[in-house]
Amino acid sequence: MTDTSHDYDAVIIGSGVIGCATALELARRGWRTLSIDKAASAGSGSTINSCAIIRFSYSTVEGVMVSWEGQQYWANWTDYIGAEDELGLIDFHQCGQLLIRTGKDDHTERVAELWRELEIPFEEWDLDDFSEKLPILDLGLFGPPKRPDDEHFWDDAHGSIAGGYYTPGAGYISDPQLSCHNLQRGAEAEGGEFWFNAEVSAINSSDDRTTGVRLADGREVTAPVVINVAGPHSYLINQMAGVYESMNIKTKALRHEVHHVPAPQGFDFMADGVVAADDDIGIYFRPETGNHILIGSTDPGCDEREFVDPDNYDQTLTQSQWEAQVLRANRRMPDLGVPHEKKGVVDLYDVSDDWLPIYDKTDLDGFYVAIGTSGNQYKNAGVAAHMMAELVVAVEGGHDHDADPLVVKGVYTGCDLDIGFFSRNREINSDSSMSVHG
């Protein structure tokens, strides 16, 4: 008879970028880890379609501090992984990020204030800088963001932008799935194991403590610690564990579209483009392979939010959102045009009630969550995993995180990272942009 039981120190549900990083961090602390994912390989869930932008443009001190610490992991990726990957290691394209200023955008001005406070290097661009460095941009003001069926969508500009803030440390990863494979190989080098095509059907527990998981194929895994890093499926795992209702902040799956269009003719956007956020027209964009431009929505109020069942949603690009995002981009880049063939991706964000992640223990002893991360936490994979590993070790060692929120040191910057900021029991954070900006 085949033995269907397996024993580990920790089970990690989900092998996206944060799940794989958490496996690496715990394995390096000597834990016997098992990562389980229903997909066929690491990063094949929502991470595969991440825009993978590395930025620090958050609206809270904690958000900026954590993301600045997180950038250091990508800048030191080879040393961080510490292992060979037969597929090669990812490249961090450090092209910088530009925030377009309207003069009346509280979020952008708040970000610059935080950058000054935390001494994150950035430049202030005037209109001459725009004309010199990004001549493809129209510098008019067109906001607030609208949809193409709005009668004022094509109105003439009502003034000009106020300039911009540019931080050279930002950039993007062009192959987010490969980053997960890199992390997997790093974790495996430390003894971590991965099971793919493996679906969790139950969270086992006894006497108010998790004891492991059961898989749909009948296998049982015994472990005193289970960590939910299941992305858009995270709320379903929390329901299995019986902790969903007890959390003050909850998550759900949000359908999102990102589009790819060729750069304006004659401009090498791969070499000279930047990551940019444009709240005036409601988009963000970055260079994309093949001298294309990736265009996403910053979730302005005029764009309807579509929360879905993560196992049953429309995965085709819609004409209405394609037109909304690409035509908005045409307002800023008049020579962009609109290709006849729609190109891009549809995937899911795991969104919390205030768009900030939850990195925490739960009311079920031994059951932890790193959730609500999609859309704005890819960049924080390394530091989020560091915080989760430190949290698990501390709580399993007897620390009462609810009564005395754990503060840990950033590995690279040495800054104090208050994990309590990401509590499941926090009140909705009024400083959040309530959007993908975070």
- Rounded CA separation 91/287 (Å): 14
The residue ranges of DSSP E strands in 242-334, in sequence order, are 251-262, 275-278, 283-288, 292-297, 306-307
- Rounded CA separation 429/356 (Å): 8
- Rounded CA separation 11/216 (Å): 15
**237 HSE (CA, 13 A, CB side):** 33
Q: Quick one: tokens of 84?
A: 């060979």
pLDDT per residue rounded down to tens, the chain (438 residues): 234 568 999 999 999 999 999 999 999 999 999 999 999 999 999 999 999 999 999 989 999 999 999 999 999 999 999 999 999 999 999 999 999 999 988 899 999 999 999 999 999 999 999 999 999 999 999 999 999 999 999 999 999 999 999 999 999 999 999 999 999 999 999 999 999 999 999 999 999 999 999 999 999 999 999 999 999 999 999 999 999 999 999 999 999 999 999 999 999 999 999 999 999 999 999 999 999 999 999 999 999 999 999 999 999 999 999 999 999 999 999 999 999 899 999 999 999 999 999 999 999 999 999 999 988 899 999 999 999 999 999 999 999 999 999 999 999 999 999 999 999 999 998 877 777 765
Cα 80 to Cα 77, 105, 112, 139, 164: the distances in Å are 5, 37, 29, 40, 33
Q: Quick one: tokens of 74?
A: 């990508």
Residue with tokens 């080879």: 78
C-alpha torsion sign, points 342, 39, 306, 70:
negative
Structure confidence at residue 317 (pLDDT): 98
Residue with tokens 């085709």: 316
Identity of residue 28: R
User: Which backbone phi and psi does 363 adopt, to 5 degrees?
Assistant: -75, -10
Structure confidence at residue 1 (pLDDT): 29
Phi/psi region, residue 296 (left: phi>0; alpha: psi -120 to 50; beta: rest), is beta
Cβ atoms of 228 and 237 within 8 Å: the answer is yes
Composition of the chain by helix, strand, coil, percent to 5: 30, 25, 45
Cα 74 to Cα 13, 18, 68, 81, 204: the distances in Å are 23, 13, 11, 10, 36
CA-only gyration radius of the chain, Å? 22
Cβ atoms of 307 and 252 within 8 Å: the answer is yes
- Beta-ladder partners of 203: 213
All domains of the chain in start order, with CATH? 5-88+175-250+354-422 (3.50.50.60), 94-171+255-347 (3.30.9.10)
User: Which backbone phi and psi does 69 adopt, to 5 degrees?
Assistant: -60, -40
Cα 87 to Cα 40, 188, 378: the distances in Å are 16, 15, 20
Structure confidence at residue 437 (pLDDT): 61
Alpha helices in 99-138 (DSSP H): 106-118, 127-133
The interaxial angle of helices 61-75 and 106-118, nearest 10 deg, is 60
DSSP 193-261: EEE-S--EEEEEEETTEEEEEEETTS-EEE-SEEEE--GGGHHHHHHHHT-TTT-SS-EEEEEEEEEEE
Predicted TM-score (pTM) above 0.85: yes
Structure confidence at residue 213 (pLDDT): 98
The residue ranges of DSSP E strands in 308-357, in sequence order, are 344-352
Cβ atoms of 12 and 385 within 8 Å: the answer is no
Residue with tokens 């999102």: 256
